[in-house]
Amino acid sequence: MEIDNRKTLKILGCLLVAGFLQTTLVHVAPDWLARWLGYIDWLMLVTIYIALQRNPLQGMLTGVVAGAIHDAQSGMPAFGVAGLAYVAVAYVTYSITALVIVDNLLVRYIAVAASSLLNTSIRLVFYALLGLSLPVLAGGKTVTANFVFTLLIHLIASTLLYILLDRIFLKGDDLRRRRTLARRRRL
């Protein structure tokens, strides 16, 4: 129980940081970087990571909280859209991990790619239904461009972010096992 609570706190902390990054990073980063950073959905990446832990309940609840943080900060009259998208993302990620037993980088990439596309699709649909436009689309990008840039930037960001999250969430043995596995693959 104590371990669960600690993990929950970690998740909450990660989500808060992700939310902070999502709202402030774009403004503090240089312009050339900010354009790319604007496409990164840090909260989604955290949700995907939690869902990759093969705990669907935890993943989906993380999605709910992440969605609430996102919608609370976005200031758009569309409360619930992000949560819905993150819950769907968590479920899809869990479904992928349920299909593929092994846990490696490829699975993570597949999960991130599928989740990214799904997240963007859901948001596009619901924002359109509510008569709103995606924040990233407001810059004049087309939908296709939005899909492609989002996918690419999420794959890159997830690689870096998940290394950090592995350090936070995985226990010592798991981390060692994972590193050993990675070293063997390189050899």
Closer Cβ to another protein, 80 or 139, answer by number: 80
Rounded Cα distance between 156 and 30, Å, is: 18
Judged by beta carbon, residue 122 or residue 157, the one nearer another protein is: 122
Among the candidate windows 10-18, 62-70, 113-121, 139-147, which touches another protein by CB under 8 A?
A: 62-70
Q: Give the Cα separation of 67 and 87 in Å (integer).
A: 8
Scanning residues 126 to 145, which ones bind another protein (CB under 8 A)? 126, 130-132
Q: Least CB distance from residue 3 to another protein, whole Å?
A: 14
| From candidates 43, 48, 84, 165, binder to another protein by CB under 8 A | 84
Q: How far is the CB of 42 from another protein (least distance, A)?
A: 20
The secondary structure of 123-141 as a DSSP string is: HHHHHHHTT---TTGGGS-
Number of residues that bind another protein (CB under 8 A): 22
Segment 40 to 59, residues that bind another protein, using CB under 8 A: 55-57
Binding of another protein by 172 (CB under 8 A): no
For tokens 């989002």, the residue is 150
The closest alpha carbon to 156, from 11, 37, 43, 49, belongs to 37
First to last CA, the chain: 39
**Number of residues that make up the chain:** 187
Rounded to the nearest 10 degrees, how much is the dihedral formed by the CA atoms of 141, 143, 145, 149?
Answer: 100
Given the rule CB under 8 A, which residues bind another protein?
55-57, 60, 63-64, 67, 77-81, 83-84, 87-88, 91, 94, 126, 130-132
